Amino acid sequence: MLQVSNIRANKEAYINALKKRNFEAEGILEEVLQLDETRRSTQTQLDETLAEANQLSKEIGLLFKTGEHMKAGVLKEKSAKLKESSKTLSETLNDTILKLDQLLYTIPNVPHDSVPAGVSEEDNEEVFQAGEIPTLAEGSLPHWELAKKYDIIDFELGNKITGAGFPVYKGKGSRLQRALITYFLDKAAEAGYKEYQLPLLVNEASGFGTGQLPDKEGQMYHVTEDDLYLIPTAEVPMTNMFRDMMLTDVDLPITCTGYTPCFRREAGSYGAHVRGLNRLHQFDKVELVRLEKPEESYAALEGMVEHVKDLLEELKLPYRILRLCGGDLGFTSALTYDFEVFSTAQDRWLEISSVSNFETFQANRLKLRYKDSEGKKQLLHTLNGSALALPRVLAGILENYQTPQGIKVPEVLVKYTGFDVID
């Protein structure tokens, strides 16, 4: 959520920056400032009314003590009017604050200067590419056919148990999945991230804290009776651990990692591009979250990018990095890099990670602050990244490592799987 003080100080700059998102901000920002002006003037009136009422209360007490009941009665009538006025002002203030917050929740984050303008994923900017795209033998298969051939993932069985988008991993497929999770967590620990096991359901306040609510409410599974949400990513519970906290210089940076299943309704997703593991309602992911001082957050973002690059290079998968354009940028992000693995069997790129800096956007919602060395209170910057999301990484391994004799296991994973080929 944007800070009103920053909107007031940078209104024109924000209007121009939000145009990168194809978001017309002028009218809504003006409405925000008008509501804030009403809030401030109402607060001033309320404070003055309450102060006057308190002073009258003291005077009334003294008049009663000195026996001047008639004068006290006159002041009591005035005090009653002040109380009624303060009640009206309080209701107006609360209503204005609610309207202001609801309006602020509809405004996306301001893109970083480096974010390119654009309308869709077609306008994203490729900034890096590495790895050799393998030449597959004739008759090579996409991963959903390989999964059936080697009996390692059963999409039909998942559909029987739950529905489409909930696959069942079997035998060596299950062990390869577990190997990837452990490998990603071990690499995060080596990089200094503290591991957490997290709840898979969160309350409404957590959804609002990291920006999934109200923006993506329709994409989250909602347990209506308990008013809880299944997590779409570990980012939500992990970042909300620090909601309403005041940290200090010595606490920072804070680096967290954790593995969780993730749940997404993916309403409206259909077609050949979502076959197999390409898009699921339940999938596994290892997440990274960082809390950083503002002046250090972009160096931290580059460090997270290097971390994900290292994983993909050790897995020997061909990949590229995209800087997302304004039209494809997530609602809460100031800058996002997407990682994509090339699927040789499908002849296309598959997104497998997003690494983002949210600057103060989430921290403002979370009321997550720190005291600097001079004792000044500031909002922190929050960052997160997938390291990595498993389904499309697994799809890339199955397709790019297939041979006529079976599917080779990336060398770095063999110590985790206990086998080097799926046959």
CATH number at residue 74: 1.10.287.40
Residue 157 counted as domain residue = yes
pLDDT of residue 268: 52
Q: Does one domain contain both 81 and 219?
A: no
Number of structural domains in the chain: 2
Given 104, 137, 159, the domain boundary residue is: 104
The span from the CA of 327 to the CA of 345, in Å, is 29
Q: Does one domain contain both 129 and 26?
A: no
Q: Does one domain contain both 97 and 193?
A: no
pLDDT of residue 109: 98
Residue 379 counted as domain residue = yes
Residue 78 has pLDDT above 90, yes or no: no
User: Which one-letter amino acid corresponds to residue 64?
Assistant: F
Q: Comparing 43-57, 158-172, 404-418, which segment has the lowest mean pLDDT?
A: 43-57
**Section 337-366 average pLDDT:** 96
Q: Does one domain contain both 272 and 140?
A: yes
How far, rounded to the nearest angstrom, does the alpha carbon of residue 30 sit from its chain's CA centroid? Answer: 27
Q: Position of tokens 């800087």?
A: 323
| pTM of the predicted model over 0.75 | yes
Strand-pair partners of 364: none
Residue 313 has pLDDT above 70, yes or no: yes
Binding site listing for L-serine = 233, 264, 287, 384
Q: Does one domain contain both 192 and 308?
A: yes
Given 104, 137, 155, the domain boundary residue is: 104
Residue 221 counted as domain residue = yes
Residue 111 counted as domain residue = no
pLDDT digits over 36-72, tens only?
A: 999 999 999 999 999 998 898 888 888 888 888 888 8
Q: Does one domain contain both 338 and 412?
A: yes
Which domain covers residue 18, as residue numbers? Answer: 4-104
Q: Does one domain contain both 30 and 153?
A: no
- Backbone dihedral angles phi then psi of residue 262, each to the nearest 5 degrees: -125, 145
The span from the CA of 77 to the CA of 75, in Å, is 5
pLDDT of residue 340: 97
Give the chain's mean pLDDT.
Answer: 95
Residue 49 counted as domain residue = yes
User: Which one-letter amino acid corresponds to residue 390?
Assistant: L
pLDDT of residue 76: 82
Q: Does one domain contain both 66 and 131?
A: no
**Section 87-107 average pLDDT:** 96
Strands 194-195 and 254-263: parallel
Given 77, 104, 131, the domain boundary residue is: 104
Residue 270 counted as domain residue = yes
**Section 141-169 average pLDDT:** 97
Q: Does one domain contain both 133 and 196?
A: yes
Q: Does one domain contain both 264 and 238?
A: yes
Binding site listing for ATP = 264-266, 351-354
Residue 277 counted as domain residue = yes
pLDDT of residue 267: 61
Q: Does one domain contain both 94 and 127?
A: no
Residue 56 has which token pair?
Answer: 């009258």
Residue-level length of the chain: 423
User: Domain with 149 in it: what CATH number?
Assistant: 3.30.930.10
Residue 22 counted as domain residue = yes
**Section 389-416 average pLDDT:** 96
pLDDT digits over 274-284, tens only?
A: 789 999 999 99
Quickly state the pLDDT bin for 269 (edges 50, 70, 90): low
The span from the CA of 117 to the CA of 101, in Å, is 28
Q: Does one domain contain both 301 and 329?
A: yes
Residue 374 has pLDDT above 80, yes or no: yes
Residue 247 has pLDDT above 60, yes or no: yes
Binding site listing = 233, 264-266, 287, 351-354, 384
